Amino acid sequence: MTGKLLFDGAKCSACGACAVACMDQNDIDTDSGQVPYIRAVCREEGLRFEYIARMCLHCTVPPCADACPQQCLYKDRQTGLTLYDNTACVGCGCCAVACPHGAITFRKTPDGPSRGRMEKCDACHIRQEAGLLPACVRACPTGALRLSCTGPMPDKSDDFERKRK
């Protein structure tokens, strides 16, 4: 069973580990301005500090898929995730405008559109298929990121203290 990412702001410190793990997993090209598929940030309001993650929530009815004129984005039946094939992407940015979570990023390539081709989180579903955790969940040092499924996937953050005897 493939899981979605779950985020617990109470445990997050906006340390950036998830973002860097995502950069490493997906070779995010920060030099050209690309941002990773997940970014946890802290918002301040007076003395209130709120931690939020900008990431794909794999909406049941994904507005990005509806907005894309090239039909790059789709709901994958098997995994329940919002996946994409950006071969036909023209970099119009409609998906990014439609997404309420700021989850879409663009990668510039010499042969691609000037804005770059859209990319986003795929919940590392191929890693999950291979029995591995998504890169960001694997990396999160505070346990703020988890996987929604309760299948055979071991969640190392739960038993960290038990093992660290």
Partner 1 sequence: MSSPDERLRAKIPGADTGITTKNSVCDICAPGPHCGVTCYVREGRIIKLEGMEDHPVNRGLLCTKGLAGRQYVYRRDRIMTPLRRVGERGVGQFEPITWDEAFREIIPRLRTVKEEYGPSAVAFFSGYNKWYRPFLQRLCYSFGSVNYGTESSSCFTSTIMSWRLATGESFAAPDLRNAGVFLGWCYNAYYSAYLMQRGVEAARARGMKIIIVDTRITPAVEKQCDLFLRIRPGTDCALAHGIARELILTDRIDHAYIGEHVHGFQPYRDYVMAFTPERVEELTGVPAAQVRQAAAMIGANGPLAVNHSGAALVHSGNGMQTHRAVMALTALTGSYDRPGGMIPAPLTYAHSMAGFTTLDHEFPLEKYPHHQPRPVGAERFPLWDELTGEMQANDLARQIREGTPYPVRAVWAHGMNFRMFGADGELQKALKELDFFVDIDLFLTDTAKLADIVLPCCSSFERGEFKVFGGGYAQFTEPVIKPLGQSRPDDEIICELAKRLDLDDDLLRSGPEACVRYILRETSIDLDELKKDRQHPHRVPGFRPVPPGAHGFHTSTGKFELWSTVLEKYPRFDPLPTYRDSSDGADPEAFPFRLVAGARLPHVLHSRLHDVPWLRSLRPEPMAEISVEDAAALGVHEGDRIEIETAAGRLSIAALPTARVLPGTVHIYHGYREADANALLPPYHNDPYSGFPGYRNTRCRIRRAQEVME
Under the binding rule (CB under 8 A), the answer on residue 111 touching partner 1 is: no
C-beta neighbour count of 108 within 10 angstroms: 16
If the CB atoms of residues 60 and 78 are measured against partner 1, the closer one turns out to be 78
Q: How far is the CB of 54 from partner 1 (least distance, A)?
A: 13
Q: Is 89 in the site for partner 1 (CB under 8 A)?
A: no
109 binds partner 1 (CB under 8 A): no
102 vs 160, beta carbon nearer partner 1: 160
Give me Rg for the CA atoms of the chain.
16
Q: Contacting partner 1 (CB under 8 A), which of 139, 145, 146, 147?
A: 139
Largest Cα separation within the chain, whole Å, is 55
Buried b (16+ CB within 10 A) or exposed e, 58-94: beeebbbbebbebebbeeeeebbbbbbebeebbbebb
Query: Which candidate, 128, 164, 125, 143, places its Cα nearest to that of 40?
Result: 143
- Give min distance, CB of 19 to partner 1, in A: 7
Closer CB to partner 1, 97 or 132, in the complex: 132
14 is a contact residue toward partner 1 (CB under 8 A): yes
